[in-house]
């Protein structure tokens, strides 16, 4: 609106003879560039080596637009933002994504949205229908066809529909549409049925747990590497693998015997970190690239928050206390910022954690289970012991009790289960 007012003033000045045609054109160009810069949410940066200005392509997150001058770069962006054609979902994806970045601190969330966008939505017919013309019946038809085409499970659909659902909500908030037709969506096709995994594949039973712990203690006695004890610790704490790897000595209170979880280690593609979006996090200190990773395809990155962006404190039971005391005794010069399960200049990473667990499973000749099963085993054993579900949820750092219920399996051996069944019917 302001731009339109300024242009009308320019017309009056031109008519009055105050300014000439060339000046009008220059001022209009300046105003247009200013408007484009306001709409463009990516950082505009200068590359001294190439003596050029660059930014992310609004329609392709992984590509760059580069020009010799800043003004020329803004001119190149004009077609992306100054189109007179009716708005469609395709048009507002980048705008919505930029808004999304302001309300989430998780780079992985943004990366997942981009991945789902490219696979399911980008360039499809439905996403190019003018927003104001989309009807509930069109949404229903599109959604049901998509589910059939990709043979989606209910879980998969709930995950990917987040994008169009939130885009419609955003469009309404911005005044692009008066009503949100997506809220009336009805799915009538059948989802792909997913068979719930069995306890045998999802958790370590009591016998496996004891044998793995015994094997890992033997490995630690031989090599004195903390990584072997990390797995035992996580049987007792149930942390996300990235949270376990990120633990530092300053997170542990050995007087109250509690540990604070507030960071997470993740694995990223090097190409991800070249994106302007991640620059913001690197500058703010919310992303730290761990040493020894430069030049590699994949990078281990330390995030300044957990998956759910909430800090939590977990009590350490006596078995865990003994492990931490031993690790402290063997690292008397450890600094508060040193990783608990690091050794020398090395740190425990996600790959190493899984390797230790695979190593132990092979030793005791049981099926290999990945590190996430430690977390499920922890939850399941607490549940079997009678700890209230809400406390289990809090320990795991879940926002929803429904999520916690998905972690509960029977961790007992058949013999232990039978004894409980018999006890239930004792007179």
The predicted pLDDT at position 388 comes to 96
The answer on 380 and 245 residing in a single domain is yes
pLDDT of residue 14: 45
123 in any annotated domain:
yes
420 found inside a domain: no
Same domain, 67 and 215: no
User: pLDDT at position 104, please?
Assistant: 74
Strands across the sheet containing 287-289: 264-269, 298-303, 287-289
In a domain, 244, yes or no: yes
Query: Do 24 and 56 reside in the same domain of the chain?
Result: yes
Same domain for 226 and 352, yes or no, is yes
Section 305-325 average pLDDT: 93
Residue whose structure tokens are 């667990």: 357
- 72 within a domain of the structure (yes/no): yes
Does residue 377 share a domain with residue 358?
yes
Domain presence at residue 270: no
- Domain range for 147 is 89-184
User: pLDDT digits over 289-298, tens only?
Assistant: 888 766 666 7
CATH number assigned to the domain comprising residue 238: 1.10.443.10
Same domain, 69 and 145: no
Check whether residue 153 and residue 99 sit in a common domain: yes
* 162: in domain: yes
Give the pLDDT score at 387.
96
- For residue 17, is it within any domain? yes
Instruction: Tell whether 220 and 327 lie within a shared domain.
Output: yes
**Last residue of one domain, picked from the residues 64, 81, 98:** 81
For residue 83, what pLDDT is reported?
60
Examine the domain organization and report whether 241 and 218 are in the same domain. Answer: yes
Whether the per-residue pLDDT at 223 is higher than 50: the answer is yes
249 and 333 both lie in a single domain: yes
Domain membership of residue 142 (yes or no) is yes
CB 64 within 8 A of CB 46: no
Q: Which of 111, 89, 94 is nearest to 171 (CA)?
A: 89
Quick one: pLDDT at residue 33? 82
The pLDDT score that the predictor gives to residue 294 is 60
CA–CA dist 247, 337 (Å, integer): 9
* Tally of CB atoms within 10 A around 125: 7
The Cβ-side half-sphere exposure at 97, using a 13 Å CA radius, reads 27
Say if residue 66 is in the same domain as residue 93.
no
* The total number of structural domains that make up the chain: 3
- pLDDT score for 6: 44
- What CATH number did the domain enclosing 127 receive? 1.10.150.130
| Res. 309 pLDDT band, cuts 50 70 90 | confident
Phi and psi torsions of 80, nearest 5°: -75, -25
Place of tokens 């000595």: 249
305-332: b or e for each residue (b if 16 or more CB lie within 10 Å)? ebbbeeebebebeeebeebbeebeeeee
Round to whole Å and give the CA distance between 103 and 418: 50
Look at strands 52-57 and 45-47 and give their pairing: antiparallel
Last residue within a domain, chosen from 184, 213, 231: 184
User: Could you give the maximum distance between any two Cα atoms of the chain, in Å?
Assistant: 105
pTM: 0.68
Write down which residue in 51, 81, 111 finishes a domain.
81
**Cβ–Cβ under 8 Å, residues 89 and 131:** yes
Q: What is the pLDDT of residues 328-371, one digit of tens each?
A: 999 999 999 999 998 877 899 999 999 999 999 999 999 899 99
Average pLDDT over the chain, rounded to whole?
86
Structure tokens at 101: 């970045």
Residues 13 and 132 in one domain: no
């Amino acid at each position: 609106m302001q731009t339109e007012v300024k242009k009308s003033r320019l017309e009056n000045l031109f008519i009055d003879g105050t300014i000439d045609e060339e000046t009008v054109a220059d001022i209009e160009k300046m105003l247009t560039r200013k408007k484009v810069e306001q709409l463009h949410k990516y950082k505009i940066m200068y590359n001294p080596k190439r003596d050029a200005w660059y930014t992310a392509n609004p329609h392709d997150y992984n590509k760059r637009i580069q020009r010799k001058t800043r003004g020329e770069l803004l001119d190149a962006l004009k077609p992306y933002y100054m189109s007179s054609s009716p708005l469609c979902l395709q048009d507002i994806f980048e705008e919505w994504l930029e808004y999304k970045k302001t309300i989430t601190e998780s780079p992985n969330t943004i990366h997942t949205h981009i991945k789902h966008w490219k696979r399911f939505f980008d360039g499809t017919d439905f996403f190019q229908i003018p927003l104001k013309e989309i009807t509930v019946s069109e949404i229903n038809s599109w959604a049901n066809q998509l589910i059939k085409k990709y043979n989606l499970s209910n879980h998969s659909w709930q995950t990917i529909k987040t994008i169009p659902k939130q885009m419609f909500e955003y469009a309404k908030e911005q005044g692009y549409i008066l009503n949100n037709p997506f809220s009336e969506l009805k799915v009538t096709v059948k989802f792909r049925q997913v068979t719930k995994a069995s306890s045998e594949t999802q958790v370590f039973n009591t016998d496996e747990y004891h044998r793995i712990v015994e094997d890992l203690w033997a490995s630690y006695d031989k090599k004195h590497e903390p990584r072997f004890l990390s797995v035992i610790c996580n049987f007792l704490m149930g942390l996300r693998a990235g949270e376990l790897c990120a633990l530092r000595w300053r997170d542990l209170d050995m007087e109250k015997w509690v540990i604070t979880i507030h960071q997470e280690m993740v694995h990223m593609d090097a190409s991800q970190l070249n994106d302007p979006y991640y620059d913001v996090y690197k500058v703010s200190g919310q992303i730290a690239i761990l040493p020894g990773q430069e030049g590699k395809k994949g990078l281990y990155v330390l995030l300044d928050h957990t998956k759910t962006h909430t800090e939590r404190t977990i009590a350490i039971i006596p078995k865990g206390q003994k492990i931490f005391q031993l690790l402290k005794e063997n690292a008397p010069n450890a600094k508060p910022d040193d990783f608990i399960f690091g050794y020398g200049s090395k740190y425990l990473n996600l790959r190493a954690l899984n390797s230790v667990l695979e190593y132990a499973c092979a030793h005791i000749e049981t099926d290999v289970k990945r590190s996430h099963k430690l977390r499920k085993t922890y939850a399941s054993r607490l549940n079997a012991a009678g700890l209230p579900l809400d406390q289990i949820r809090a320990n795991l750092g879940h926002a929803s009790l429904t999520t916690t219920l998905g972690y509960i399996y029977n961790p007992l051996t058949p013999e232990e289960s039978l004894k409980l069944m018999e006890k239930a019917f004792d007179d």
